[in-house]
Amino acid sequence: MPQLHFQDFPPQLVWLAITFVVLYVLMSKVALPKIGRVIDARAERITADLDRATKLKDEAAGVLAAYEKALADARAQAQAAIKAVSERMQKDAEAREAALAKKLAADTEAAEGRIKAARDQAMASLTQVATDITKAAAEKLIGQPINDQVATAAVAAAAKERA
Amino acid sequence: MAEKAIDPLHQFEIVRLIPAKIGNLDVSFTNASLWMVIAIAAVTVFLVGGMRRQALVPGRWQSMAELSYEFIAGMIQDNVGSSGKKFFPFIFTLFMFILFGNMMGMVPYSFTFTSHIVVTFAMAFVVFIGVTIVGFAYHGAHFLSFFVPKGVPKVMLLLMVPIEVLSYLTRPVSLSIRLFANMMAGHTMLKVFAAFTVMLGIFGVAPLAINVALTGFEFLVAFLQAYVFTVLTCIYLNDAIHLH
């Protein structure tokens, strides 16, 4: 069994010691600090990122609450403004309507007055025209003019009969 | 040729590649030395090369380097606790050295330096001495109470203390023989079946199939024995630091 050749022990032990110590130095001074640094940096980064994410989330929640409050405020304000405007508009409309009605009534009254005057005038001139026609007709029929008083009385009597 | 083929122990032969002597000490550079050098070079390239970019999001190679770091860090944390942190470089070196020694041994025509009892015993002995020193450094003479089991009748202590001492002293032996025997047996078996494959001609398919399975199995053993050696070192260290 080659494992029991005692003359082979010293070179194996010497080289085991050399290689093991070299590897130990390489690991403890070079490789492990390098890996440890990277792993620590990553863990730190992850923790920091998580912290930042939590902070941002809180911030976002705050912003959302503020936004919702602002929205509600704006909505209430808009509602109030709409209400005020519509009230004012209604009042205006009512006032305008009243003024218009008043004006219309006045206009109607004036028109009625004018119509009455025109009718009176027309009626008066109608009597005159009837009298003139009556005079002219009587003159043609009897060959001589009749006096105004008789014609006027005849027209008045006819108008009374027809009314 | 057939005679050579069925000598499954030939692969464990130490060959002096560069004979050298310092005084009476034989310091020849042997095939074992060569594979030790290759192993530590491979470990260093594996770790330093993997970490060359130090990326925040690791690639495949960097992941493996970090995985080995975290594997051993986790093992120490689980078995020893945070007081074991200062032994991390040593435990890590031990694990990587044995793991790469075992794995390199799976390369055909290579040499498995962990299949030599003198190598495994030297490592186990260093662990044993180191753990004992740690025990005395942490607890002084009180460390000796480790050999006195609690809650045992005084009369029984006459029997128990020698048993405890003996079991403590056999630790380096069991630790070294476990690794050495596993590696040696596995490689011997591979060689035996490989020899059958050659000898049986067309019927060599059967031992070849066995060898394929054995090769997979040997990779498992290569990892497992490195793990066992390391985890036992952690457990011994835990005993020394925390006593029972």
Flag if A1 and B36 touch (Cβ within 8 Å). Answer: no
pLDDT, mean of residues A26-50: 93
Question: Is beta strand B21-22 parallel, antiparallel or unpaired with respect to B25-26?
Answer: antiparallel
Partner A contacted by B35 (CB < 8 A): no
Alpha-carbon distance A131 to A158, whole Å?
Answer: 11
The C-alpha atoms of residue B97 and residue B51 are separated, in whole angstroms, by: 19
Residues in contact with B111: Cβ distance below 8 Å, sequence separation at least 6, in sequence order? B11, B31, B32, B34, B35, B105
Residues 42-81 of chain B with CB under 8 A from chain A are 43-44, 47-48, 51, 54-56, 58, 62, 65-66, 69-70
Provide, as residue numbers in chain A, all residues whose Cβ is less than 8 Å from the Cβ of B32.
11-12, 15
Label residue A127 by pLDDT band (50, 70, 90): confident
pLDDT of amino acid A152:
82
Residue B178, burial from CB neighbour count under 10 angstroms (0-12, 13-18, 19+): middle
Q: Identify the CA nearest to B215 among candidates B190, B179, B180, B183.
A: B190
Q: Which helix (H) or strand (E) holds A7?
A: none
Helix (H) or strand (E) holding B145: none
B145: tokens are 């109470």
Residue A128 to residue A19: CA distance in whole angstroms: 154
pLDDT band at A81 (very low <50, low <70, confident <90, very high): very high
Q: Which residues pair with B29 in a beta bridge?
A: B18
Q: Where are the alpha helices (DSSP H) in B80-170?
A: 88-104, 117-139, 154-169
Number of A/B CB contacts below 8 angstroms equals 125
How far apart are the CA of B25 and the nearest CA of chain A, in angstroms? 7
Q: State ipTM.
A: 0.90
Buried b (16+ CB within 10 A) or exposed e, B207-235: beebbeebeeebeebbeebbbbbbbbbbe
Yes or no: say if B132 and B75 are a contact pair by the CB < 8 Å rule.
Answer: no
CB neighbourhood size of A28 (10 A): 15
Per-residue buried b or exposed e for B150-159, using 16+ beta carbons within 10 Å of the residue's own CB: eeeeeeeeee
Structure tokens at B243: 């006593």
Please give the pLDDT value at position B6.
67
- Give the DSSP H or E segment for A6: none
pLDDT at B244: 67
What whole-number distance in Å separates Cα of residue B65 and Cα of residue B63?
5
Q: Residue B39's closest CA among A111, A27, A128, A121?
A: A27
Contact residues on chain B for A23, CB-CB shorter than 8 A? 40, 43-44, 93, 96-97
Average pLDDT, chain A: 91
Interface of B with A in 210-229 (CB under 8 A): none
- pTM given for the model: 0.74
Residue A147 has pLDDT above 50, yes or no: yes
Predicted local confidence at residue A141, as pLDDT: 86
Cβ-contact B209, B103 below 8 angstroms: no
Is B122 near chain A, with CB under 8 Å?
Answer: yes
Average pLDDT over residues A60-82: 96
Q: What is the CA radius of gyration of chain A?
A: 62
Over range A7-28, report the average pLDDT: 94
Q: Given this model, what pLDDT does residue B2 score?
A: 44
Ranges of residues in chain B with a pLDDT under 70 are 1-6, 244
Distances (CA, A) of A88 to A80, A81, A96, A98: 12, 10, 12, 15
* Burial grade of B41 (CB within 10 A; 0-12, 13-18, 19 or more): middle
Closest chain A residue by Cα to residue B38? A19
- Give dist(CA B240, CA B229) in Å, integer: 17
- Token pair for A103: 């004006």
